Structure 1
Amino acid sequence: MNFEQLATIITDTHQQLQQSAVKAVNQRLTVRNWLIGFYIVEFEQNGEDRATYGEQLLKNLEQRINQKALSVTLFQWSRKFYLLYPRFNLLIKHSFMLICETPSHKLIVNEEKQIYETLSHKLQNIENEDNDENIPAEKLLSSISFSHFIELMKIDNPVKRLYYEMLTIQTGLSVRELKRQIDALSYERIGLSGDMEHALTTIQQKIHPQTVTDTVKDDYFFEFLNIPQQRVLLLKESELETLLLDHLRDFIIELGNGFCFEARQKRILIGDEYFFIDMVFYHRILKAHILLEVKISPFDHAHVSQLYSYLNYYKAEVMEPDDNPPIGILLVTNKNDALVQYATAGMDEQIFVSKYKLQLPTEQQLKDLILKTIRQ
């Protein structure tokens, strides 16, 4: 073995075991949440004092347990998870039995032991819906994290949910990418396609698989392990800018309405200095270029001046005789706020509002997208 081979072996070992560790944590997290849902539903149906708590059960549970990771929101998702995926019962029974074998469990009083024995019996007899029309429970548990399941549970149509389960397993979707596929109506577009197999292949080729880093940025992952998210895991400004531009490009293209993507970080020469425009589109209906600038910082009037210099450059150097003047969109975001401003190269405001603005995303649409991206 030479030095390069040593380095390769160590790297491969690290990556494989890191992935295995993350996968193991995700599986335990999913099992825990299914069992929590099972316990809650069992109490709601058969609990001795269930009438005392009624609709306040989950809130009272949160206050009584008093652990950050065990909240009303988690209890609500766990209950829904159990009800939507009862076929996990036999798979999870093994984990339940392991809990019963722990030293601390063996010390509990006889009355509580009887409760566990009753739960174990009921767990065994839950109606199993794992048929040929469903993805096997083992495959779901080994391939999909609980954060993925949350997005899947938001889908009421079981066939549609099955499609996104399959897409997640086949392509290794990150949670963010799964949300994007759902928002982009991937399922509906497949159904409308004349060649469904080709359409699915095209969608799969555009998907970037989830990485270990994607997984460990998950809030549920850290709360389950009782580890605070470290500052090193927060997005750097350059990463946030890249993420915003990715989302904006996809968002604008999926709006349709004539948008054609031309360039990202478009280099232009003004005087003897090069500048880079974050994103350039051409709108075939408006017959005008759309220049988009993103600033991860507090608003500064210099941002507007810079955008106007780009618009004037396009108007003088790029615009064809039958083109309309270019339009600029300035997006400024700082922490939890966002500002969206349109800019025109000397165009009459009334003409812009009546003719152009109808074809463009609204300021509120863009602002909502920015804030959604920041908070993910």
Structure 2
Amino acid sequence: MSQQLTPAAYSQVLAELKSRVRHTQIRAQRQVNTELVELYWSIGDLLSQRQAAGGWGTGVLNQLADDLRAEFPRMRGFSRSNLKYMRAFAQAWPDAKSIGQQAVGQLPWGHITVLLDKLDERQARDWYAEHATIHGWSRSVLLNQIMNGTRQRIGAAPSNFAGRLAPADSDLARQLAKDPYVFDFLELTEEVTERDLEQALLDRIVDTLRELGAGFAFIGRQVHLEVDGDDFYIDLLFFHVEQLRYVVVELKTGKFEPSYAGQLGFYVAVVDDTMRRECHRPTVGILICGGRNDHTVRYALGNAESALAVSTYTYDALPDAERRALPTAEQITAALDWAEDTSNGLAAD
């Protein structure tokens, strides 16, 4: 006698099977991508060697592109421009070990061409390749991160972390603060109040979290603190899920003033005392302001007891009409993809 599955049991089995199929599909796609990247690297390495030995020029690449497309008509990517990218790829990562074992080998080919186009140093390319792999950046997000100089901005904000936190924890905390923060996505066109800036950041919370960095989780705005009957409100409160600590963010549209450090330090102390658990690392505060005098900041942070950093922010203040006329990063990426596809199609005709 066969046993009938209940609706709940059937749904559970179906969900498990779907999960397994999707997991296998993702693994297969990654494997195919890695093999394609390794193929492109090997082609580029051969072209680089032949060019060095025989002085191959544009004419040879044109002929190779035509012959490869004729032999493999269903494969995209054998345009002359793409062959040049392959050669540049092999020259940029000439390591003898398999390219698939490196972070760049886990990226789609379009991401790699962005690294080659926008960066010149191997160290910078490796940094962005690693972070794009870890955080799953799309091609447009990778382009934005590079154009906004994310690598140079991380850890650049002046802070007193070294004097207020244990050495290892201080190094971790420094990675939480960028300088400056780039808020171009907010589309602010004139001088704004702190509440306007706060609201704009929340209206674009996904972009805000991306700019803050990986690991930030939004807790709330104007978070209420009560201290023996007195009421206080934190502009923005976050929790960093990787470092397991609260991060208090205060926004000031004007230039830094020493009193701001006292206010932020007070909020950090209260959060540390009332919200932090034993498993959490010490709370830190980040003041994001419109400008600062570094000497003033140094004196103010030197006297602060809480772990604080002071960052600035920038945003594109173009008029609305001019802003609307500019393409977004997604539109630029789509245009590049279209141009590449069109070039490949015309060359194949």
TM-score (norm: length of structure 2): 0.47
Greater RCO structure (CA 8 Å; 6+ sep): 2
TM-score (norm: length of structure 1): 0.44
Higher share of residues assigned helix: 1
